[in-house]
Amino acid sequence: MHQQHSKGFKIIEQYLAGMQQTAFPFQIAAWHAIQSGKSGLVNAPTGMGKTFAVFLGSIIQFIDEHPNTYTQQNNNGLQLLWITPLKALVKDLARAMETTLKYLNIPWQVGIRTGDTTTQERQQQKKQLPEILLITPESLHLLFTHNNHANYFKTLKIIAVDEWHELLGSKRGVQVELAIAHLVQLHHTQKIKHKHKLCIWGISATIGNLEEAKNVLLFPLKTKGVIIQAPPTKKINVHTIIPDEIETYPWAGHLGLKLAHKIIPIIEQSNSTLIFINTRGMTETWYQTILTAAPQLAGAIAIHHGSIEKELRLWVEEALHQQKLKAVVCTASLDLGVDFKPVDTVIQIGSPKGIARFIQRAGRSGHQPNATSHIYFLPTHSLELAEVAALKHCLQNNIIESKPTLLLCYDVLVQYLCTLAIGGGFNAKELLEEVQQTYCYQQLSIDEWNEILLYLTSGGAAFHEYEDFKKLELDSNGKYVIRNRRLAMQHRMHIGTIVSDAMLKVKWMHGSYLGVIEEWFINRLNIGDSFVLGGRNVMLTMIKDMTVWVKASQATNTIIPSWMGGRMSLTANLGSELRNIFSNALHSQLPEMKALAPLFQLQQQLSVIPNNNELLIEIIQEKKHWHIVVYPFEGRLVHEAMSALMAYRLSKLQPVSFSIAMNDYGFELLCDERIDLTPQVVVQLFSTENLITDLQNSVNATEMAARAFREIAVIGGLIFQGYPGKNKRTHHLQASATLLFKVLNEYDSKNVLLQQAFKEVFEKQMEEVRLRSALKRIQEAAIRITHPKQFTPFSFPIVADGLNRNHISSEQLEDRIKKMQQQLIH
Amino acid sequence: MFAPYLFPFKNQHLWLVAEKCIFWEEEGALILSDTHIGKTAHFKANGIAVPEAIFKDDLRRLWQVISVFNPKKILIVGDLLHKKNNQEVTHFLKWKNETTKVPFHLIKGNHDILSEEWYNDAGIILHQHQLLLPPFLFIHNPNETENDEEKDVYTISGHIHPGIRLKITGKQQIKLPCFYFGKHQAILPAFSNFTGLAMLKPTKKDKVFAIANQNIIEIK
């Protein structure tokens, strides 16, 4: 049945032969699948040509359809829509496609449509779309705001979604789901004579739930589809940098810099090195530290992260390609994207917190087929050595994380309804059916739908008195539209903003652009304070019109922003492996664990090392404070919820305030009163009964929801970030997400976006599913309570890291304030 | 409403009220600032749905303090309106004219941008820059005062929506709106509940009164 020897196939084989290449078996399989009109998911590691598996498939299809005229067919209309999350990637990708097309003498155009596309190009595309359009999810939604957008997609044959593993589980992924459902719907309803089949192809790196990833993507098609997998990934060699001396009292972030000298020889012996660091703030510190340790590297080392000026980032990427740099200090900003051929070594500083991320990063080195990837791991505190031991075990046993899928994101839906209301309007009944075709909104009820419509037409159930709120209006054809041109324009400007925090531009006083920075960070600074951005010491001179103006600073005590984004949480798989590693800590033959022996011996001597079927709780008295430290090894996020739950339930037993701290291994409740715990009480404290009610009642749920609300408010259009260059005019519309959350919570608790904030807290931030299974595990675990006389190696990093403290209390606010001598914070 | 907190100051009796205003006994004046009337409507007109219950609640609180203290005059230290005349503003004026005969004095703030005629028609006495009622000088923006120590006046301002960060037991902290009394000037909390907080960093000599739920708590 396969047209193995179709004309298209032969031409492509000849083309590859001409390039001294042969097709990989998985590519051929993908081409066959595309030929027979199937949809599916291609899974292959970076650098294996998964792009070509889909792109060349589309070409083969075209040649086979026009075997004699394919070199003359101009203006075919859009054939291949290529959705990618990465703006930075599209240029290289487009270039590669154009080269191939030129070689094959196919007169296709390749177009790019992202936030960076010029107005001129946009106009051109509006007249005649290219055959291949590379687009980001946001820009695709922007196309839907065009009145006649249905016409654009009449000829569309393949929707390809690149880096689907990155999009899945994110709100941009939900945007893709909605877009696909819309395109499928347009395809069904369009009246064309010879209707072709519309295929959807995802391209994904390895994740634990590939099958589910495929199902989410193909959901609107109602077909099963196929998964086409490349053979197992290349070999990864993990080298651990073991400190000469093990600190028995590890402190987060304390150790790493001391080991900086150990990476200098690695950098020097390698061709080109990527140094991955978890937080943007630390990249600045490491960049400076490496330069101090090895001044000879000046000029050959650069820095790359999400808040550096775009030109500088592009320069760094270009220099990496051209082998001009010995090393780049970077964050997740270089996790993805095109391969840098000269890179042969990767250094990971601090725990990567997950197996998938570790593999991804390791894969950034050694690109030749069959080459081995080398990754060096440098711990930032000694216990991370145990994490790398766990990582190695997972690598050997092919254990990898799944990407959770999102359900019922009201904010993205609110945004989408406005999008379609601008792009010609929508019929409520038809659109509900279309939206229910997505995996994300398959369970959307008519009540929820009406609630959202009500919110967009009148501002919600609570708003009736003043009629001046109108976003959507019903037109005479029974379609919902946005008539107000100003609102429509605001919305268009807004679509791209799926961000978690308000960002401010940072500019030099003379006007040139330095980068962006989170608003909350700047709000903590005073005029004259110095901070570091993009490796430069700068002094804050003024904040005006959403721009931070700075000048060079000579100050030595600069503040380095500790970006929130860096607080990644340990994944479930790694946590579980870590419990195994710990449980066998004293007898392990692994080099990492051998090095840690003094630490574990001290832990055993002062308290105990828990087995993997035990839960350890340490109660340590320090003057008038009691530290209750619990070690579930479930990651920061789950600990956040678990600690709030425990504190809340304890405070029901006796009125008391707690201050809470946590890391990936455990959490601490600190209080001023003695608390006695027995294993029976502990089991009750971690019971799954009334879980949601109790979590909701903990002060934390509100605080966490307030944080989650930031992103929702931006996506849902509650926070308007302003017109470019016209920020002044929006001054009267600025309200912080915190304020909006406060007033909605107080005055309109049924608001759909507010409800979503709470829902997200349970699902995403508290990882409810994981929390439940962790609590169940505790119910069956043996509870070990110890009373060490001093801090143990396990407890020390948690107690020392007081940065992330939350609090919960059953006492009245006034009582709490009056309770102790009030002190001002200066 | 909870009992007001008496704060004797400059030989005057100032009653601090948890509804975020001051009753000045000698002058019979109710002093408040930053009511930002019309803000919720302005947001809504721009497609941002905020509950108008905030506005109604602000009016309810204002009515409550007026009926408790029965003031001879009401001093609004700037930012009476948020931006322009909208339905909420109309509603406010109707409410004001129907419920109270007490004269409203407005010390013009940066948000008060309507024409003089408008305030005239609305029956609001407008003071272009400041209002002197010894020993106090009322002026909207605290940064626009001239800290002239020879002049024996003490300024009372609004504008910044002051708040205070409190450290309480076990390294916890909370943020609360507050009244601030410095050496030369005082700053009132914003009356409207639809306002954020700007954190103050007072020195030991300053007097700060935090508003926690319905209580006034002096911070020492």
Three-state SS for B16? strand
Shared domain for A249 and A150, answered yes or no, is no
Strand ranges (E), A636-714: 657-662, 667-671
**pLDDT of the residue at A27:** 92
Rounded distance, CA A484 to CA A478, Å?
17
Sort out which chain A residues have CB atoms less than 8 A from B210's CB and list them. 817
> Which residue, of A168, A200, A229, is where some domain finishes?
A229
Question: Span A110-138, mean pLDDT?
Answer: 88
* DSSP summary character for residue A495: T
Average pLDDT, chain B: 88
**Of A465, A738, A822, which has the smallest distance from its Cβ to B166's Cβ?**
A822
User: Is the pLDDT assigned to residue A802 strictly greater than 70?
Assistant: no
User: Is the pLDDT assigned to residue A467 strictly greater than 80?
Assistant: no
**pLDDT of the residue at B165:** 83
User: Is the pLDDT assigned to residue A656 strictly greater than 90?
Assistant: no
Q: Which two tokens stand for residue B124?
A: 């609001």
For residue B184, the domain's CATH number is 3.60.21
Determine the distance in angstroms separating the CA of B86 from the nearest CA of chain A, rounded to an integer.
Answer: 9
Shared domain for A248 and A285, answered yes or no, is yes
Main-chain dihedrals φ then ψ at residue A192, nearest 5 degrees: -125, 150
Main-chain dihedrals φ then ψ at residue A82, nearest 5 degrees: -110, 105
- Dihedral of CA atoms A470, A471, A475, A480 in degrees, nearest 10, equals -140
Structure confidence at residue A633 as a pLDDT band (50, 70, 90): very high
Shared domain for A163 and A14, answered yes or no, is yes
In angstroms and rounded to an integer, the radius of gyration of the C-alpha atoms of chain A is 28
More confident residue, A426 or A308: A426
User: Is the pLDDT assigned to residue B50 strictly greater than 70?
Assistant: yes
Three-state SS for B219? strand
Structure confidence at residue A89 as a pLDDT band (50, 70, 90): confident
B86–A822 C-beta distance less than 8 A:
no
B174–A820 C-beta distance less than 8 A:
no
- Dihedral of CA atoms B85, B90, B96, B101 in degrees, nearest 10, equals 80
B52–A466 C-beta distance less than 8 A:
yes
Shared domain for A246 and A217, answered yes or no, is no
**pLDDT of the residue at A194:** 62
Per residue in A288-301, pLDDT (tens digit) is 889 999 999 988 99
**Sign of the C-alpha dihedral computed for residues A413, A417, A422 and A426 taken in this order:** positive
Shared domain for A208 and A323, answered yes or no, is no
* DSSP summary character for residue A426: B
Shared domain for A225 and A242, answered yes or no, is no
More confident residue, A826 or A103: A103
**Sign of the C-alpha dihedral computed for residues A436, A441, A447 and A448 taken in this order:** negative
Three-state SS for B165? strand
> Which residue, of A566, A588, A615, is where some domain finishes?
A566
B44–A459 C-beta distance less than 8 A:
yes
Determine the distance in angstroms separating the CA of B212 from the nearest CA of chain A, rounded to an integer.
Answer: 6
Q: Which of A648, A622, A649, A802 is nearest to B173 (CA)?
A: A802
Question: How many CB pairs (< 8 A) connect A and B?
Answer: 144
How far is residue A580 CA from its own chain's centroid?
A: 28
Rounded distance, CA A603 to CA A795, Å?
9
Find which of B58, B169, B204 to mutate to test the A interface (most A CBs within 10 Å of its CB): B169
How far is residue A609 CA from its own chain's centroid?
A: 34
Determine the distance in angstroms separating the CA of B123 from the nearest CA of chain A, rounded to an integer.
Answer: 24
Please report whether residue A372 resides in a domain.
yes
**pLDDT of the residue at B178:** 95
Q: Which two tokens stand for residue A402?
A: 């799944």
Shared domain for A137 and A198, answered yes or no, is yes
User: Is the pLDDT assigned to residue B112 strictly greater than 70?
Assistant: yes
More confident residue, A517 or A208: A208
**pLDDT of the residue at A824:** 36
Sort out which chain A residues have CB atoms less than 8 A from B173's CB and list them. 825
Shared domain for A159 and A261, answered yes or no, is no
**pLDDT of the residue at A784:** 95
Please report whether residue A766 resides in a domain.
no
Q: Which two tokens stand for residue A554?
A: 């000579």
**pLDDT of the residue at A1:** 40
User: Is the pLDDT assigned to residue A809 strictly greater than 50?
Assistant: no
B166–A824 C-beta distance less than 8 A:
yes
Written as one string, the DSSP assignment of A758-778 is HHHIIIIIS-HHHHHHHHHHH
Shared domain for A215 and A265, answered yes or no, is no
Contact A420, A144 (CB under 8 A): yes
**pLDDT of the residue at A458:** 80
A315 Cβ neighbours under 8 A, 6+ residues apart: none
Rounded distance, CA B65 to CA B17, Å?
8
Shared domain for A219 and A240, answered yes or no, is no
Q: Which two tokens stand for residue B207?
A: 């007097």
Please report whether residue A241 resides in a domain.
yes
> Which residue, of A351, A376, A396, is where some domain finishes?
A396
Among A56-60, A228-232, A325-329, B36-40, the minimum mean pLDDT is found in A228-232
Domain that includes residue B120, residue range: 5-219
A363 Cβ neighbours under 8 A, 6+ residues apart: A45, A46, A47, A233, A234, A236, A373
**pLDDT of the residue at A730:** 45
Q: Which of A652, A651, A649, A642 is nearest to A615 (CA)?
A: A642
Q: Which of A634, A599, A632, A605 is nearest to A617 (CA)?
A: A632
For A455, which residue in chain B has the nearest alpha carbon? B49
Please report whether residue A271 resides in a domain.
yes
User: Is the pLDDT assigned to residue B15 strictly greater than 90?
Assistant: yes
Per residue in A180-209, pLDDT (tens digit) is 999 999 999 887 666 688 999 999 988 889
Shared domain for A162 and A75, answered yes or no, is yes
Per residue in A412-447, pLDDT (tens digit) is 999 999 999 999 999 999 999 999 999 999 999 999
**pLDDT of the residue at A24:** 87
Domain that includes residue A71, residue range: 7-229
Determine the distance in angstroms separating the CA of B89 from the nearest CA of chain A, rounded to an integer.
Answer: 12
Determine the distance in angstroms separating the CA of A573 from the nearest CA of chain B, rounded to an integer.
Answer: 33
Main-chain dihedrals φ then ψ at residue A73, nearest 5 degrees: -75, 105
For residue A372, the domain's CATH number is 3.40.50.300
Give 3-state DSSP helix, strand, coil % of chain A, rounded to 5. 45, 15, 40
Contact A517, A523 (CB under 8 A): no
For B200, which residue in chain A has the nearest alpha carbon? A826
Sort out which chain B residues have CB atoms less than 8 A from A743's CB and list them. 50-51, 54, 193-194
B195–A807 C-beta distance less than 8 A:
no
Shared domain for A225 and A281, answered yes or no, is no
Say what percent of chain A tops pLDDT 90.
Answer: 35
Q: Which two tokens stand for residue B212?
A: 């926690």
CB neighbour class for A249 (10 Å; exposed up to 12, middle 13-18, buried from 19)? middle
Q: Report the number of distinct structural domains present in chain A.
A: 3
Three-state SS for A111? strand
Among A418-427, A587-596, A617-626, B47-56, the minimum mean pLDDT is found in B47-56
**pLDDT of the residue at A127:** 84
Q: Report the number of distinct structural domains present in chain B.
A: 1
Average pLDDT, chain A: 83
Sort out which chain B residues have CB atoms less than 8 A from A812's CB and list them. 213
**Of B86, B202, B217, which has the smallest distance from its Cβ to A824's Cβ?**
B202
Buried b / exposed e along A17-51 (16+ C-beta atoms within 10 A): eeeeeebbebbbbbbbbbbeebbbbbbbbbbbbbb
Determine the distance in angstroms separating the CA of B68 from the nearest CA of chain A, rounded to an integer.
Answer: 24
Please report whether residue A64 resides in a domain.
yes
